[in-house]
């Protein structure tokens, strides 16, 4: 008798397979993967403060619904998102790897179990967080095998009940008028540019949210639309404010006391327009956005900006402590990986 294919059975198997990899590399040391589960990092004193909570490594409870699986595969391989590298950059990375793996000759090899012996290999890319460079914790590279990479991607897809294969939604191009409307909504009271990375170094030193230029490759449009409407429902306690849009008939409109005239004249869905704007943004368009004259912010819009400033100060105060703590956590993960595998570390 032939067995009928049941996608639920396959998703259940994908979740089971994924948990083996998750536990092997101690992903829950830094991340929350299930509602109600606490990571090790969440219980550190700094991350229980109001400032620290917004600087936690990201929740992964809806990762499969949030990100494009093809992007996730690339990110897990190289969290620095270095992309194609010049020969000089490749030499710089290889040099850093040689220095980090070299043992001191004068004193001999470090004893087994010491911090020096447990150092992780250098990333295949640069020593940075590719998505959230403002975090004190750096996403390490575990040099996952191709099978482990696929297992993790399928795990996150299954945990979020996502269908495979994922077919990326094709978004309608923006007209010049729609770009103008979106720019003015961004700069007339919504706090988007106060918290997100923009590529401007002075501003980015206080940023606490990723660059919009990553949205197209990284995020899924349908998840982003739901996120804009009610981020607190998806990630309770997030610094991303709720109530940016209100329902008006069968569409969502920007919820500002004095919206720009261009927004009032735009009769389609404002939230869907901003999703398209973010996903179709180019470096040139981002520069035009930053050059758009801002309108006086609505009451309460300065709160996220103040939180960003507080986060920047907190990072500077605690950078030494977290550098030490990251070494401990990643060493723990590496030690576990060594005990369960004969190959080198990574992530």
Residue 106, domain member (yes or no): no
CATH of residue 25's domain is 1.10.760
pTM assigned to the model? 0.74
What is the number of structural domains in the chain?
Answer: 2
d(C-alpha 201, C-alpha 182), whole Å:
24
User: 254 is in which domain, residue-wise?
Assistant: 176-301
State the average pLDDT over residues 186-214: 90
pLDDT value for 213: 96
pLDDT value for 7: 64
pLDDT value for 226: 97
d(C-alpha 266, C-alpha 279), whole Å:
19
Same domain, 283 and 331: no
Q: Helix, strand, coil: what percent of the chain each, to 5?
A: 50, 5, 45
Same domain, 297 and 325: no
Same domain, 11 and 159: yes
Same domain, 196 and 161: no
Closest CA to 278 of 343, 345, 184, 183: 183
Other Cβ atoms within 10 Å of 143 Cβ, number: 17
Residue 94, domain member (yes or no): no
Same domain, 130 and 256: no
Same domain, 199 and 60: no
Same domain, 288 and 237: yes
Q: How far is CA 114 from CA 111, 141, 326, 328, 341, in A?
A: 6, 20, 15, 11, 19
d(C-alpha 3, C-alpha 215), whole Å:
40
Same domain, 221 and 152: no
pLDDT in tens, 233-250: 999 888 899 999 999 999
230 pLDDT tier (thresholds 50, 70, 90): very high
Residue 111, domain member (yes or no): no
Same domain, 297 and 323: no
The residues, ordered by sequence, that sit 6+ positions from 180 with a Cβ below 8 Å of its Cβ are 262
Same domain, 218 and 184: yes
DSSP 45: G
pLDDT value for 330: 46
State the average pLDDT over residues 172-189: 93
pLDDT value for 309: 52
d(C-alpha 165, C-alpha 69), whole Å:
9
């Amino acid at each position: 008798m032939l067995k009928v294919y049941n996608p639920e059975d396959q998703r259940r198997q994908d979740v089971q397979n994924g948990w083996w990899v998750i536990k092997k590399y101690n992903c829950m040391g830094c991340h929350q993967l299930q509602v109600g589960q606490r990571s090790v990092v969440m219980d550190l004193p700094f991350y229980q403060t109001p400032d620290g909570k917004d600087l936690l490594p990201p929740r992964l409870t809806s990762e499969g619904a949030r990100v494009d699986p093809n992007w996730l595969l690339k990110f897990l391989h190289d969290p620095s998102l270095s992309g194609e590298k010049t020969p000089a950059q490749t030499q710089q990375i290889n040099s850093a790897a040689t220095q980090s793996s070299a043992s001191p000759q004068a004193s001999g090899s470090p004893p087994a179990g010491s911090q020096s012996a447990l150092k992780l290999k250098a990333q295949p890319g640069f020593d940075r967080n590719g998505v959230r460079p403002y975090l004190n914790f750096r996403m390490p590279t575990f040099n996952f095998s191709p099978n482990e990479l696929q297992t993790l991607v399928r795990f996150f897809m299954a945990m979020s009940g996502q269908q495979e294969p994922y077919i990326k939604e094709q978004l309608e191009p923006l007209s010049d008028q729609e770009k103008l409307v979106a720019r003015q909504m961004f700069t007339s009271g919504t706090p988007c540019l106060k918290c997100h990375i923009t590529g401007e170094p002075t501003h980015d030193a206080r940023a606490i949210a990723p660059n919009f230029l990553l949205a197209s490759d990284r995020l899924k449009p349908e998840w982003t639309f739901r996120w804009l409407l009610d981020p607190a429902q998806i990630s309770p306690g997030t610094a991303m404010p709720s109530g940016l849009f209100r329902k008006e008939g069968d569409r969502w409109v920007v919820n500002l006391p004095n919206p720009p005239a261009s927004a009032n004249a735009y009769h389609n869905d404002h939230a869907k327009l901003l999703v398209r704007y973010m996903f179709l943004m180019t470096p040139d368009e981002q520069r035009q956005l930053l050059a758009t004259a801002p309108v006086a912010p609505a009451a309460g819009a300065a709160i996220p900006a103040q939180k960003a400033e507080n986060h920047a100060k907190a990072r500077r105060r605690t950078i030494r402590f977290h550098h030490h703590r990251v070494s401990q956590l990643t060493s723990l993960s590496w030690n576990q990986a060594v005990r369960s595998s004969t190959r080198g570390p990574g992530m």
